[in-house]
Chains A and B, each alone.
Chain A
Amino acid sequence: MTEVNTSKNSLRRRSGLAHVINYGQFGNITLSGPSLFICERHPLTILQLDTNKSKTLTDLSNLLNVEFPHTTNTCKGNDERRILWLGPNRWLIVEPEHGCLQTLIKNEFNSSEVFLTDLSHGRSTVRLRGRKARDILMKGSGVDWHLNSFVTDNCAHTKLFDLAATVDCRDIDVFDIYIARGFAEDFWEILQDAAAEFGYQVD
């Protein structure tokens, strides 16, 4: 029900970071350039999906063309669509906002099989990329971020700089961080402060 009627709507979504993002290079930029690249991913469709029916999951995988991860703290997906394990029988589906994902699923499955909760506007998503990305995560969270330990398609639900965060490892040094929207400005400020010593670029 919360999906925007794009045909009628001339309004654009305004992210929680819209007022604070300044683009450019900042901090300790050396001759080799920035060690970190930070950008906001917006607008995204973020759906929480609950189901305990394995057949439904298989059908959902076929519908979405992405397998559902069953291992704790892992993700599956492709460049477009990601599915993150959130807890027993609970996943987060993330993709750039371009279609009506919720409608797509609701049209195929009834509400007693699949429970969908739209969190697209409730999360701010920041992508952290670069050779110092893991060092930033190490500053803010006690998870083992070592590249042999937190590998591509791992996700973590942790406190990052004392804020509840979900971190999806998209590639060796590429991470998507999901933060509650209300804390997005605070998080952005802390992230910049932590990144300054490495030199960073906001894209």
Chain B
Amino acid sequence: MFRFQSRQQQRLDDGGQINRLAPINFTFDGKKFIGFEGDTLASALLANGVRLVGRSFKYHRPRGIYSAGIEEPNALVALRSGDRHEPNTRATAIELFPGLEAKSQNRWPNLLLDYLQINNLLSPFLSAGFYYKTFMGLPGWHFYEYFIRKAAGMGDGTKFKDPDKYDKKHVHCDILIVGGGPTGISAAVTAGRAGARVILVDNHPKLGGQLNGERYFLDKKPAHHWVEKCVEELDGLENVTIATRTSAFGYYDSDVVNAIESVSDHLPEPLDYQCRQRLWQIRAKKVILATGATERPIVFSNNDRPGVMLASAARRYVNQYAVKPGKKAVIFTNNDDGYKTAFDLVRSGVEVVAVVDSRKNIPEHFEKELNEKDIEVIASSVVIDTYGYFGLNSVKIGTLSHDGKTIESNSYIVSADLLAVSGGWSPNVHLYCHSGGKPVYNDSIEAFVPGELSQNGHSAGASRGSFSLTDCLQEGHNIANTMAKALNLEVAEQIIPETDENTIVPIEALWRVPGKGKKFVDMQDDVTESDITLAHREGYVSVEHLKRYTTLGMGTDQGKTSNLNGQAIMAQEKSEPIEKIGTTTFRPPYTPIALGPLAGRDIGLSYKHTRRSAMHNWHKQNGAIFVEAGQWLRPQYYLNEMEQPSKENMDKAISREVQTVRTSVGLVDVSTLGKIDIQGKDSAEFLNRVYTNGWTKLPIGKARYGIMLREDGLVFDDGTTSRLDECHYFMTTTTSNAAAVLSHMEYYLHVQWPELDVKVTSVTEQWAAMALAGPKSRNVLSKLLPTIDVDNESFPFMGVREVDIEGVPARIFRISFSGELSYEINVPADFGELIWQRILEVGQAYSIRPYGTEAMGIMRIEKGHVAGPELDGRMTAADLGLQKLLSTKKDFIGSKMMDREGLKDKNRPRLVGLVPVDKKSRVKSGAILVKDPTLAPPVPKLGHVSSSAYLSPTLGHPISLGFVSGDIIETTKKIWAVSPLHKESHELEITDPVFYDKKSERLHD
């Protein structure tokens, strides 16, 4: 134990909440150190005497550890290496773990040398907005930008894929308590005892909050006794969930609070099956914001040197981590907090040279202890300046004039390696503001506090400006009590423990110390007092403009220690009260969070779910190359056993499949088509209103093709609907519009026509569907159904049969997409693969072959059938050549709007066939049709190519479908297709859209 201790020269011999029996090795900039379990990286570095940990953002000034929490503006380090490398992490919030690797950042070649510290000398030229003023007007901004960003910046990220998993959790509760300090614990005990479902979240590894960093006594025992007792009680309550290492980062509408749980950030790497972080989405009936407060500094010259830190941080280091942050300290304060730091430092063996208090009157209750500890108090005084490049070695103290605007001439320098600064405390109102609340300024504590309630989130304790421990404990209890009553719960009493704290003497605001020098307001972004005064002089009157011009509060710390000082300085410059200046907008996240937990497991292939047909596995095992069709995976084509995927083999496969269907028989999986079951006595009337053509006379056992219009008169979708029974229909839709059509119909049934007795249900997943197509398809079907007559008279075109295929019920529709004799066979999905295989077995005698979407697409283009690319939401029925389907004897959806002048224009684009003049060029779908590709822009668009068959094995050359303006069709036979992105242009001949079997004899025979 002593051996470990001896290498940590700043470690106290006893005390703290660290485990001295658990030493932990870690490195910083490659140098090996040892800390203890319970340390943060910052406390372990301080224990080892490391003061310089980074370089500042813009001026590359040496920086040390400034705080002891998530508000840290300076000590940003790169953590871990390789694929787990993470830049810009706060050393003050990183729990030490074995093998931790940390590196300083924003320096080159190393932390001590850093060539870019020359920026500090150039600082007079690098004031707020310097690059706008200097470079924006000059040519080559993008050239300069690279170097500027390189010189001023944060750490570099990794380009490797994140190896860790992230998870999500959705929880509900009666009362969510954010913050596990005295207020939060007190509230949790009261709410838990009342029986409320409570979730208590805290970003630290253990509860206690500020109590962990102080030497408070509760009921005459150290405060941690009370914390432990409460935690034990809460652990025993089934209705209470405690989530430590969980940081609430955003408060959203409907009292939803999001938090990130650091599941394994405190470990070298996640354990097997463990995620790194988990997003909690918490839906609460009531929220208690016990988020505490953040100490703020005072702005004075060279207030950023390593060795200058917040007074409360210095206290926490000695009390919680048993680390002396310095050997000789000066305290600079404008409130009582500095005295607590002085006392705790002396108790820990740190020499306190003086407490410099800007107030005239020293709190009397401190006098006795000050005398006992022989601490000098210098009243009405301030720290004017500091000295020491890589670490503080002395401070300059002077007397403040009565008006606070100047320094008397009696200043002097004292040596010190630690300057603990307290400028007062700012309640953490961030989550309150996320919820929609507007903070108001409270003069008595010189800070913004929550104003009116926005949602059901109540602030309590330090987060609403109540800084005494007694007040925090009482408020936590009171608010939980009130909420429990509102939830109709029986409230149990809680005896608030007695505290040993002194009465607080009000703060006297001191935002900045007069004098020259570089006085940092926002240390993370290197924003100085002079930047703010410059912004004021240049006319930036809004605090939001000030923020964007100077970057005040725009760092990863979001100005937790700097915003109020900056706003106060602006107020002073404008001679206006701070409340009139106001705050900038607080936005989530409260602390920086990784993107991983927001995505959770919705990454990679899980980003978008995949839908598979019942025959998917067969396709996979039989050479299918898949293509995405919406969420579905469909076979695009099938390679033979010896074929490797290549463009050539793809062409061969597609040709093979088309020729098989045209000459013999093929089988294609069409399960993806939308299928809707329609029942009810008004079904025919409903279809009559939804489709443009007539449906009342469709006989049972017959199918009919139809199109639907949208309300605006443009074509929505097409498909066939079959009558299975008197009041029972089966509708098919296009694959892509399946959900939209169902939703469209449900809307009309529920909202517009509730009087119709019709039920619609999606049965897309219930039925596996396959189209048996080709001149030999009837032969295959007759073998499959030996007892059923399937000749042309018994089973005509558009006929429907409900049959039994070897014990499996099936619906067979004689409809065709390919233009061949074809039967669409639907069987219950669990039998899909088996029936598919059975058909292929039976079809072997006819050299049956499965075919994919490419062959299917080519054949429908050959036949001039419209599909998704043509039904693009911009076409009328007439544009598609389907005007015959528009009934004039009835109303239907879209009928009122379809006759608008613009939709009846003769010059509207109409469906045409397109053939390359050279009979070999492959025209891209989406190509624009123009009169002449050599014309100078703007070139009038005459139409576009909607679908292309790069090869038509049937015709022997490529073909396309497209739309060409009506007037052009009348006058022109040739047109050019251009695809500027691909630098392609091809001359095309305009033809009839039906290339194959114009009389449709093949599908009728």
- Residues on A lying within 8 angstroms of B by beta carbon are 1-11, 13-16, 19, 27-28, 43, 48, 50, 111-112, 115, 117-123, 135, 138-146, 148-149, 161-163, 180-186, 189-190, 193-194, 196-197, 199
Contact = CB atoms under 8 A, between A and B. Distances in A.
Contacts of B677: 117
B827 to A, nearest CB: 9
Given A4-B807, A182-B765, A189-B606, 16 more contacts: A1-B809, A11-B831, A13-B831, A50-B759, A111-B726, A117-B677, A119-B766, A120-B828, A145-B170, A148-B197, A149-B172, A181-B614, A182-B611, A185-B610, A197-B275, A199-B273
Contacts of A149: 172
A139 B169 contact: yes
B807 A8 contact: yes
B830 interface: yes
Nearest to B617: A19
Contacts of B602: 162
B829 A121 contact: yes
Interface of B: 167-172, 197, 272-275, 281, 283, 601-602, 606, 609-614, 617, 631-632, 677, 679-681, 724-728, 759, 761, 763-768, 802, 804, 806-809, 811, 828-831, 833-834
Interface of A is mostly: loop
Contacts of A14: 614, 830-831, 833-834
A148 B238 CA distance: 11
Contacts of B609: 162-163, 183, 186
Given A27-B273, A119-B766, A138-B169, A144 B283 contact: yes
B808 A180 contact: no
Contacts of A120: 766, 828, 830
Contacts of A16: 612, 614, 829-830
Nearest to A15: B830
A184 B614 CA distance: 11
Given A16-B829, A182-B612, A196 B273 contact: yes
A178 to B, nearest CB: 11
Contact of B828 (A2, A27, A146, A162): A2
A162 B728 CA distance: 32
B597 to A, nearest CB: 12
Contacts of A43: 830
Contacts of B833: 14
A1 B802 contact: yes
Contacts of B632: 182
User: What 8 pairs across the A-B complex have the smallest Cβ distances?
Assistant: A9-B807, A122-B766, A122-B765, A13-B830, A182-B611, A144-B172, A121-B829, A8-B807
B831 A119 contact: no
B601 to A, nearest CB: 6
Nearest to A180: B765
A8 B632 CA distance: 33
Contacts of A50: 679, 759
Contacts of B834: 11, 14
Contacts of B169: 135, 138-139
A197 B828 CA distance: 36
Contact of A111 (B171, B612, B725): B725
A9 B612 CA distance: 25
B273 A197 contact: yes
A143 to B, nearest CB: 7
Contact of A139 (B167, B273, B724, B809): B167
Given A8-B807, A112-B681, A117-B677, A142 B170 contact: yes
A9 B808 CA distance: 7
A15 B631 CA distance: 20
Max chain B Cβ within 10 angstroms of own Cβ: one of A7, A19, A163: A19
Nearest to B724: A1
Nearest to B681: A112
B763 to A, nearest CB: 6
Nearest to B809: A2
B275 to A, nearest CB: 7
Contact of B761 (A5, A48, A146, A180): A48
A100 B727 CA distance: 22
Contacts of A194: 167, 601
A104 to B, nearest CB: 16
19 contacts: A2-B766, A8-B806, A14-B614, A19-B617, A117-B679, A121-B829, A121-B830, A138-B170, A140-B168, A142-B170, A142-B281, A144-B283, A162-B602, A182-B611, A182-B765, A183-B610, A186-B606, A186-B610, A197-B275
B809 A197 contact: no
A117 to B, nearest CB: 5
A146 B172 contact: yes
A185 B612 contact: yes
A43 B632 CA distance: 24
Contacts of B763: 117-119, 122
Contacts of A13: 828, 830-831
A27 to B, nearest CB: 5
B993 to A, nearest CB: 33
Contacts of A148: 197
Contacts of A161: 601
Contacts of A121: 614, 765-768, 828-831
B807 A11 contact: yes
Nearest to B620: A19
A28 B273 contact: yes
Nearest to B239: A148
Contacts of A184: 612
Nearest to B838: A11
Contacts of B831: 4, 11, 13-14, 121
Contacts of A115: 679-680, 759
Contact of A4 (B761, B766, B809, B811): B809
Nearest to B270: A197
A112 B807 contact: no
A111 B727 contact: yes
A18 B728 CA distance: 32
Contact of B679 (A111, A163, A180, A199): A111
A111 B727 CA distance: 8
Contacts of B168: 139-140
Contacts of A139: 167-170
B806 A193 contact: no
A184 B617 CA distance: 13
B765 A143 contact: no
Contact of A138 (B171, B631, B828): B171
Nearest to A52: B757
B808 A190 contact: no
Max chain B Cβ within 10 angstroms of own Cβ: one of A48, A148, A182, A194: A182
A3 B830 contact: no
A190 B604 CA distance: 12
Contacts of B611: 180, 182-183, 186
B601 A123 contact: no
A118 B273 CA distance: 40
Contacts of B281: 142
A37 B807 CA distance: 35
A186 B609 CA distance: 7
A112 B601 contact: no
A1 B680 CA distance: 17
A151 B876 CA distance: 52
B56 to A, nearest CB: 41
Contacts of A118: 763, 766, 828
Contacts of A6: 807
A112 B829 CA distance: 27
Contacts of B807: 4-11
Contacts of B606: 186, 189-190
Contacts of B679: 50, 111, 115, 117
A163 B829 CA distance: 19
A29 B273 CA distance: 10
A138 B241 CA distance: 14
B829 to A, nearest CB: 4
A11 B761 contact: no
Nearest to B760: A117
B601 A190 contact: yes
